[in-house]
Amino acid sequence: MILRLLSSPNGLLGKSIASLVNVRPWCPPSGITFRSTICRPKSSIQTPANRVYDVNTKVPKDVMLFKYENPRFFKVLNIFAVSQFLFWGYLCHFSYTTLKDAPVQDDGTEDLPWYKRVNLGENKYRNGIAIMCFFIGYGVLFAAWMFTLRSVRYLILRKGGDNVSVVTYAPFGTNRIMDVPLKYISAQESREAARVTVPVKIKNRALFYMLDMRGEFTNTKLYDYTVGLSRKLK
């Protein structure tokens, strides 16, 4: 009798086993909590934020990171600088060759203004004026040229991601191209924090190279993880 109950699918034990198999796990209502290994709330899956090593900087082809198209401004700037150099150079030549030594009489000069009591033709005044005019003209030209040569027009990450081509403006309307290893470039300020320019330091180069914020960062993510990083240049 017992064997018949066990072997028969329609027996009592068979029905009880079948009913246990078809029973669905019960979960408590939302307001009641029980510690159970059967009913566990599904945890929300959060994707991790992008990390530095998630960005592939080994690009298969050349990628432009930044561009600043404003050739007209630099053309006008250099024309102004050259004209100033010529103007102050002419004043230098004029003051050195034209000013004559004309001593002022000592009698009755107390009532004269101070500029009438100065002998501009005296050697110390004549040479001083000539040197001052030359350095003013040369200083304006030098400042304009250095600003032009340090203004970045294009930043191009080369194939493989190890080198960067820094293209700057040149005084006579051309471009100046330098291929620099990426490890020799350090950004002194982040792109998001900068307001006017982003100064970039290149190893063994005097002064900083400037990225004007009026330009366009064509690949911001790749820029931030390559040129935009701050490195210690030894």
Q: Edge-to-edge strand order for the sheet containing 197-202?
A: 185-187, 197-202, 209-212
Tell me: do 89 and 121 sit in the same domain.
yes
- In this structure, is residue 108 part of a structural domain? no
The encoded tokens of residue 74 equal 């630099």
Tell me: do 170 and 219 sit in the same domain.
yes
Counting the structural domains of the chain, the total is: 2
Single-letter amino acid code for the residue at 197: T
| Domain boundary pick from 91, 126, 148 | 148
Distance of CA 160 to the CA centre of its chain: 21
Q: Provide the H-helix boundaries in the chain.
A: 2-7, 12-22, 71-98, 123-149, 220-224
- Please give the average per-residue pLDDT across 153-180, as a whole number: 94
- As a whole number, the mean pLDDT across the chain is 80
Domain encompassing residue 127: 74-101+113-148
SS3 175: strand
Single-letter amino acid code for the residue at 231: R
In the chain, what is the greatest distance between 2 CA atoms, to the nearest angstrom? 153
Over residues 128-145, the pLDDT tens digits come to 999 999 999 999 999 999
| Domain boundary pick from 128, 148, 168 | 148
Instruction: Say if residues 210 and 198 touch (Cβ distance below 8 Å).
Output: yes
User: How far, in Å, CA of 95 to CA of 79, rounded?
Assistant: 24
- In this structure, is residue 189 part of a structural domain? yes
User: How far, in Å, CA of 169 to CA of 51, rounded?
Assistant: 34
The encoded tokens of residue 225 equal 């993880």
- In this structure, is residue 13 part of a structural domain? no
Where is average pLDDT lowest: 12-21, 186-195, 208-217?
A: 12-21
- In this structure, is residue 218 part of a structural domain? yes
Tell me: do 142 and 155 sit in the same domain.
no
- In this structure, is residue 161 part of a structural domain? yes
Q: With bands split at pLDDT 50, 70 and 90, how would you rate the model's confidence at 17? A: very low
Tell me: do 121 and 178 sit in the same domain.
no
Over residues 96-116, the pLDDT tens digits come to 888 887 776 665 556 667 666
Tell me: do 160 and 173 sit in the same domain.
yes
- In this structure, is residue 2 part of a structural domain? no
Instruction: Say if residues 180 and 202 touch (Cβ distance below 8 Å).
Output: yes
Q: With bands split at pLDDT 50, 70 and 90, how would you rate the model's confidence at 124? A: confident
The encoded tokens of residue 84 equal 């100033």
CA distances for 101 relative to 97, 125, 202, angstroms = 11, 10, 52
- Please give the average per-residue pLDDT across 156-177, as a whole number: 93
Distance of CA 69 to the CA centre of its chain: 16
Instruction: Say if residues 168 and 155 touch (Cβ distance below 8 Å).
Output: no
Gyration radius (Cα) of the chain, Å: 40
- In this structure, is residue 117 part of a structural domain? yes
pLDDT, residue 105, reads 66
Tell me: do 81 and 144 sit in the same domain.
yes
Tell me: do 163 and 219 sit in the same domain.
yes
Tell me: do 120 and 133 sit in the same domain.
yes
Tell me: do 186 and 124 sit in the same domain.
no
- In this structure, is residue 191 part of a structural domain? yes
Tell me: do 185 and 124 sit in the same domain.
no
Which is higher by pLDDT, 203 or 35? 203
Report the range out of 28-32, 49-53, 106-110 with the highest average pLDDT.
106-110
Tell me: do 140 and 159 sit in the same domain.
no
pTM: 0.70
Instruction: Say if residues 162 and 181 touch (Cβ distance below 8 Å).
Output: yes
